[in-house]
């Protein structure tokens, strides 16, 4: 897999198939990127599970926080890593010890570890590196175009007007 460039269909396929996301490195600090990514993903209907040993047993955005991936009592579809690249191998050890294995390991912006990616892919896990699911979801749904950013998505579809976020949904093409 070429981790320097992803096809839109690859990213959209992931975002359309996962339901539960463990955020490793989740923060209770509302100005941290992991906090607003969690908030956004929760608003989009994902089940988001924060993982942070310093916050274990407490809630972040109303979600119970766990110290380790192994402590989460439900199956996880995707692990979103909000840690530095040098922390990825140890996190991948935790991921590969899960039963069942998650479908996806996603590494946030600036986070990349090619050897860990090979290990995950060898186990049948899809990998995304140096990307943000919040940004990718908004880009593929055409939402960031509302803010004056060229998302590359054109649509005559009327947005769904409701409280909170509006969404066209993630497009495959």
The rounded distance, in Å, linking the Cα atoms of 36 and 85 is 21
**pLDDT averaged over the chain?**
89
Sign of CA dihedral 132, 126, 20, 99: negative
Residue located via tokens 């839109």: 8
Region of 124 on the Ramachandran plot (φ > 0 left; ψ -120 to 50 alpha; else beta): left
How many CB atoms lie under 10 A from the CB of residue 159? Answer: 13
Q: Give the 3-state secondary structure of residue 77.
A: coil
User: Between β-strands 78-81 and 20-24, what pairing exists: parallel, antiparallel or unpaired?
Assistant: parallel
pLDDT digits (tens, 9 = 90+) for 42-90: 999 999 999 999 999 999 999 999 999 999 999 999 999 999 999 999 9
Tokens, residue 57: 């047993």
Residue 167 has pLDDT above 90, yes or no: no
pLDDT digits (tens, 9 = 90+) for 86-121: 999 999 999 999 999 999 999 999 999 999 999 999
């Amino acid at each position: 897999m070429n981790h320097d460039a992803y096809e839109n269909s690859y990213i959209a396929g992931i975002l359309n198939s996962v339901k539960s996301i463990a955020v490793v490195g989740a923060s209770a600090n509302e100005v941290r990127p992991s906090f607003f990514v969690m908030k956004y993903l929760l608003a989009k209907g994902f089940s988001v599970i924060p993982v942070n040993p310093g916050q274990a047993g407490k809630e972040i955005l109303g979600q119970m926080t766990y110290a380790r991936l192994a402590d989460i009592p439900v199956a996880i579809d995707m692990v979103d890593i909000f840690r530095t690249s040098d922390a990825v191998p140890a996190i991948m050890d935790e991921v590969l010890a899960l039963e069942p294995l998650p479908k996806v390991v996603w590494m946030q912006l600036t986070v990349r570890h090619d050897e860990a990616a090979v290990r995950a892919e060898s186990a049948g896990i899809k990998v995304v590196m140096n990307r943000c699911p919040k940004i990718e979801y908004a880009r593929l749904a055409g939402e960031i175009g509302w803010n004056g950013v060229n998302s590359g998505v054109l649509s005559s579809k009327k947005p769904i007007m409701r409280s909170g976020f509006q969404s066209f949904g993630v497009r495959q093409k």
